[in-house]
Amino acid sequence: MDDEIVVLWWYLNRRQNKRKHWVHSILRERFSFGTFETLMGELRRDESKFFNYFRMTATAFDDLLGRLDMRVRDTSFRECICPEQRLAICLRYLASGCSFKEIHYSYRVGVSTISKLIKEMTHVIWENLKTDFLKLPDTEREWEDIASGFERKANYPHCLGAIQDKLVHCSLRIVPIPPIERLMVTLKFLATGRTYTDLQYSFRMGMATISKIVDEVCKVI
């Protein structure tokens, strides 16, 4: 019985220990010194700086904001982050590649809040724009046409898209490679002495996949 009392006392005492900061003093100054409050107005007055910062014009920013269905509201503990600032944080992260901590100190928003916000915003952008602007190919042939275009124009094989000059690579194969084809790859490599780079264009596989297949099949035969 005494042990139960001690455990209960420890638990209640632990719950009563309050956090040192419910909101850190740095974050409380968001509405006075945060980047959104201090810089956004100046950026809007200089189109080139705005474009450099967000990788889009102010007109495009406002058009995108108007297309997004975001419902946010204040709580009894703190004011919400308005839709415009949410979009600004998300676009700045995507445009610059800076870390959550960098945005945390400049926008004066918690790191965990930024992580959640960016995840939510990218989902909202996708859901609201995918039908009109981000239609995916419907057939295998359409995917292959895209890959052929990248290989022909940019010399990038097996590439299916590019985001702000960052190429998105994806293998065209999404199903397991059958044993007979694994054997053909290995025999072609052994019989011709061709490199993995040459074979990837013939069999439409990544070099790492070909290397793994050759190693595995050679052990068996």
Summarize pLDDT for 160-215 with one digit per residue, the tens. Answer: 777 655 545 554 444 567 777 777 878 777 777 777 767 776 777 777 788 888 88
Q: Are residues 151 and 76 in the same domain?
A: no
Residue after which a domain boundary falls, among 98, 129, 160: 129
Per DSSP, what are the bridge partners of residue 166?
Answer: 163
Q: Are residues 204 and 163 in the same domain?
A: no
24 is a domain residue: yes
Tell whether pTM > 0.75: no
Q: Could you report the per-residue pLDDT of 25-39, keeping only the tens digit for each?
A: 566 666 566 788 878
Beta strands in the chain (DSSP E): 159-163, 166-169
Q: Are residues 63 and 31 in the same domain?
A: yes
Q: Could you report the per-residue pLDDT of 72-107, keeping only the tens digit for each?
A: 554 444 567 888 989 998 988 888 878 888 888 788
pLDDT at 1 over 50: no
CA distance to 30, 93, 164, per residue, from 97 (Å): 22, 5, 11
Residue 178: DSSP 8-state: P
Q: Are residues 93 and 199 in the same domain?
A: no
Q: How many domains does the chain have?
A: 3
206 is a domain residue: yes
User: If you average pLDDT over every residue of the chain, what do you get?
Assistant: 75
Q: Structural domain of residue 78, as residue ranges?
A: 2-129
14 is a domain residue: yes
123 is a domain residue: yes
106 is a domain residue: yes
Cβ-defined contacts of 6-10 (< 8 Å, 24+): none
Q: Are residues 114 and 161 in the same domain?
A: no
Q: Are residues 34 and 122 in the same domain?
A: yes
